[in-house]
Amino acid sequence: MRVGILFFIIFIPLILKSQNDSIPPGDPIENEELIENFIENTNEDIEFDFNTTFENLQTYVRNPIDLNAASRNDLEELIFLTDIQIQSLLDYREKLGKLISIYELQAVPSFDLNTINNILPFVTIKNEVDDLHIGLKDLLLKGDNEMYLRWSRILEQQKGFTPLDDGEMGSRFLGDQNKYYFRFRHFYENKLSYGFTAEKDPGEEFFKGSNRHGFDFYSAHFYLKDYNKTIKTIALGDYSVSFGQGLILHSGFGSSKNAAIMNIKRNRRTVKPFKSVSETNFFRGAAITFGLGKHFEFTALGSYRGRDANLIDPSLIDNELIFQSFTALQLSGLHRTPAEIADENAIKDLTFGGSLKYKKRNWHIALNGLHSKLDKSFQIKPLPYNRFYFNGDRLTNLSLDYSWILQNFNFFGETAMSDNGSFATTNGLLIGLDRKVDFAILHRFFPKDYQSLNPNPFAESGGARNENGLYLGIVIKPDKHWQLGGYFDAYKHPWLRFNIDAPSRGYEYRGRLSYFIKRKLIVYIEFRNEIKQIGHNSASDKIDGLVSSQLWQTKLNINYNATRYLELRNRIHYGSFSDGVNRSSKGYMIFQDIIFKPLNLPFSFTARFALFDTDSYGIRFYTYENDVLYSYSIPSFYGRGTRFYVNFRYRGIRNIILEARFAQTYFSDRDVIGSGLNTILGNTRTEIKMQAKITF
C-alpha cells in the first residue's frame, strides 16, 4: 500500500519544489510576524532582545533532522509543527516503518503541502542505521565555530550625550553613543553548543568607570543535548527553562495572540541554552535533565545571579548604611546614568527547582516546582491596584501540567499554586478536524492574588494574574493556494489595574485571508479589532471611571518574486483608534521593499521606503524590518513622515560575511524627536550598523 502511495506522490516533487518559502531558510515570514506581533502586543516601544530565538532553524539547515530517527523533542524544535502533526508522524512511523522519501510526508495524516514546504529546509530522510556514539572530546573539539562582531550608533546627537547647561540639575549618559556586540559560539551539529556573548549599549561606559572590565553585559553558556539515554540535557552558565504552559516559569521568547492562529501552546524543550542579550530573562548556574528509564524524565536547576532593582532609601542601622528592600525590578538592562548604575545587580536572586515528567507515546503529565530567594525584600508602594502583588523575599510555586493527544484532539494545560494558597489554571484544546480545518480553544483563569516571579503564559496581560479569558481560533485551508484564519478572544480583569480604578473587560478578534504560490507570490489581507475598557481621568471624580476604547487595524500585504533573485514586498496599513472620550484618530502606512539576492554574485541587498501619516500615538503601526543577521528591528510609526533603510551583505571573502545597514526616519510634523535624555533636536533619526560574521 505504501509503495502505491509513494508511486502516486512521487510525480509531484516539482510542485513541492516550486513552493519553497521565498524567505531564506532560518528566517521565514512566519517568524517575522511572530516578532512583529510580540512587540505590538506589549504596547511599548521596546527593543527585541531575543535576537537568537530562531537560530536553531539555521542550524537545522546545515544539519537537518532525520525524520526516521527524530524523537518528539526533536520534532518540537520545528516550530511549524503542531503536536497533532508530530503525533501523526510518530504513529505513521510505528505502523508502517521508516519513511522511504521526503515526499511520503504527504501520506501522513494532518500534514498538508504548506506544512511540508515549511519544514523541507530543516529535515531529511536517512534509511541507513546510524547508532554511532560521538565522544565528548570530539563534540568539544570538532564541529563549527562562528564569531559575530557588530557596531551601531545613532548619528544625531541625543540630549544624554550633551553637557549639562548652566544651573541645570540631573545627569547625562556616562558613555559614548556607540553600541558594541560580540559573540563566539562553537557547536557540533545539534548536540553541543558553547560560547559567550558581550554587549555594550549606547550611553554605557566601555573599559572605564562602572565597566572597567570592558562590556556592560557578559553571558556564557555550555549546552549538551541527548548525550545518551540517561543524560538528556546539561546546561552550564546562562540558560533558559520552561515548565508547562508558563504559569510558574517560561524564560525566553513566548508569543501571544498573533496571525499564527494555532500558536497558543507553550511547547519547547525544558532546558535550552541562552545565547541572547536580554539581560533579564535567563538563569545563571546549572540545569540537567535525566532520563529515568523508559517513561520518566527529571529536570533540576539551580541559579544565582544579580538583578537590577530600585532600592528603598538606605537607613542608618548600627552605624552602617544598608539597603533593606526594593520597590521594583528594572528590566531595561541599561546602565548609562548614575541612577541606572546604582540599580545594577542591586539584589541577588537564588532560584532552584525541578520537574518530574511521566510520558507515554501520546501523553505526559509533569509535576513542577520552583523556589526563589531574594537577598532583599520586595516592598511595592501600596496602592489599590497592586494590593495583591507579591511582597517579601521568598516565593514558592508548584504546578501540574499535562498534554494528551487522542487521534486529532490535543488536550493540554497547567494548574499552578503560589505559596499564599492561590491557584491559577490554563487549559486548551487543539483539534485537527481534517487536513483542511484546524480549531483551537484556550481558557485561562488567573486570580488577582496569584503570585509568581517568572510567569509567561498565553494571555492578554502579563504576570499570570487578575485575568479570566477564553480564546477561540480556526484555520481553514480549502486548497494549496488559499487559507482563511481568525480568532476571537474575550477577557476580563476582576480587580483593578494600573490607571484603571475598577474591574474591566474587553475582547479582540482578528481575521486573515491568504493566497500564495510558493516561490512566487504571497498575498494576504488582514483585519484586527480590539475593544476594551480603560480608565478615564475626570477632574470632578476622585476615582477614574471606565470608557470603552477601540483599536481597528487592517493591512494588505503582497510578496512577489519577480525573478529567482529579485523579490518585491508591498504593504498598506490603515487603522483608527478611539479612546471613548475624545474624537477618533486614524492613520495609514505604506511601504515598498526590494530584496535583491543574485545567485552568481557575492553581494545582496534589501531596501525599504515607507510613508506614514497618523493622527496620534494611539494609532501607531509596527513593522518588521530586515536587518543584519540575528538582529531585529521592529520600530513603531506614528505622526507624519518617511522611513527608508538599505542593508548590504557581501560574501566574497571565504568564511566571512560582511553586512552594513543605513536607516533613517524623517518627521515632517515635528522638530524634536523622543523625550528625556533620548531627545534629538531635529526631525531626522539616522542609524548605521555594521557586522562581520566569521566561521571556521
Helix (H) / strand (E) element for 221: namely strand 217-225
- Look-up of cell digits 514586498: 569
Whether 621 and 637 have beta carbons less than 8 Å apart is answered as yes
Q: How large is the average pLDDT for residues 231-252?
A: 93
Distance CA 690, CA 629 (A): 11
Q: Rounded mean pLDDT of 619-623?
A: 90
Q: Which stretch, 276-280, 500-504, 514-518, has highest mean pLDDT?
A: 500-504
> What SS3 state is found at 394?
strand
Q: What are phi and psi of 510, to 5 degrees?
A: -140, 145
Nearest C-alpha neighbor of 597 from the set 120, 31, 25, 59: 25
Structure-block grid coordinates of residue 496: 483593578
From the list 224, 226, 349, 348, the residue with the least C-alpha distance to 287 is 224
The residues pairing with 605 across neighbouring beta strands, listed in sequence order, are 596, 648
| Stretch (H or E) spanning 93 | helix 83-96
DSSP 252: S
Looking at per-residue pLDDT, the higher value among 544 and 531 belongs to 531
Please compute the mean of the pLDDT values over residues 342-347 and round it to a whole number: 93
Q: Is the pLDDT of residue 591 over 50?
A: yes
β-pairing verdict for 309-311 and 296-307 = unpaired
Give the Cα separation of 428 and 439 in Å (integer).
11
Percent of the chain at pLDDT above 70? 88
Q: Which residues pair with 438 in a beta bridge?
A: 432, 475
What are the distances in angstroms from CA 512 to CA 256, 471, 474, 477, 534?
Answer: 17, 16, 11, 12, 27
Average pLDDT over residues 485-509: 95
CA distance linking residue 591 with residue 186, whole number of Å: 39
* Tens digit of each residue's pLDDT (9 = 90 or more) over 388-425: 999 999 999 999 999 999 988 999 999 999 999 999 99
Task: Report the pLDDT value the prediction gives residue 39, as an integer from 0 to 100.
Answer: 53
Mean pLDDT of 247-258: 81
Q: Whole-angstrom Cα distance, residue 498 to residue 504?
A: 11
pLDDT of residue 439: 94
**pLDDT reported for residue 32:** 60
Using DSSP, state whether 461 is helix, strand or coil.
Answer: coil
Is residue 67 pLDDT above 50, yes or no?
A: yes
The reported pLDDT for the residue numbered 217 is: 95
Out of 79-83, 88-92, 583-587, pick the least confident. 79-83
d(CA 34, CA 49) in angstroms, rounded, equals 14
Name the DSSP class of 33: H
- Nearest CA to 308 out of 349, 273, 276 is that of 349
3-state SS, one letter per residue, for 369-390: EEEEEEEEEECCCCCHHHCCCC
| pLDDT tens per residue, range 288-318 | 999 998 999 999 999 999 999 998 865 544 4
Region of poorest pLDDT, from 240-254, 359-373, 470-484: 240-254
pLDDT range class, residue 1, cuts 50, 70, 90: very low
pTM to 2 decimal places: 0.87
Answer whether 435's CB lies under 8 Å from 110's CB: yes
**pLDDT at 30 (0 to 100):** 53
Residue type, 455: P
Contact 466, 457 (CB under 8 A): no
Instruction: Pick 4 or 638 by higher pLDDT.
Output: 638
pLDDT of residue 540: 62
Dist CA 524 CA 207 (whole Å): 50
Look at residue 213 and tell me whether its pLDDT is greater than 50: yes
**Three cell numbers at 667?**
518627521
pLDDT at 548 over 90: yes
639/670 Cα distance (integer angstroms):
9
Return phi, psi of residue 3, to 5°.
-65, -40
pLDDT (mean) for 206-234: 93
The DSSP bridge pattern shows strands 347-359 and 325-329 to be unpaired
Q: Identify the H or E element spanning 32.
A: helix 29-42
Question: Which is nearest to 639 in space by CA: 659, 610, 600, 662?
Answer: 610
3-state secondary structure of 90: helix
Q: What is the pLDDT of residue 222?
A: 97
Which pLDDT score is estimated for 139? 87
Give the chain's mean pLDDT. Answer: 87
Place of cell 488536550: 411
pLDDT for the residue 55: 65
Mean pLDDT (whole number) for 191-213: 94
Residue 394 forms beta bridges with which residues?
373
Q: Helix, strand, or coil here: 63?
A: coil
H or E element: which one contains 338? helix 338-343
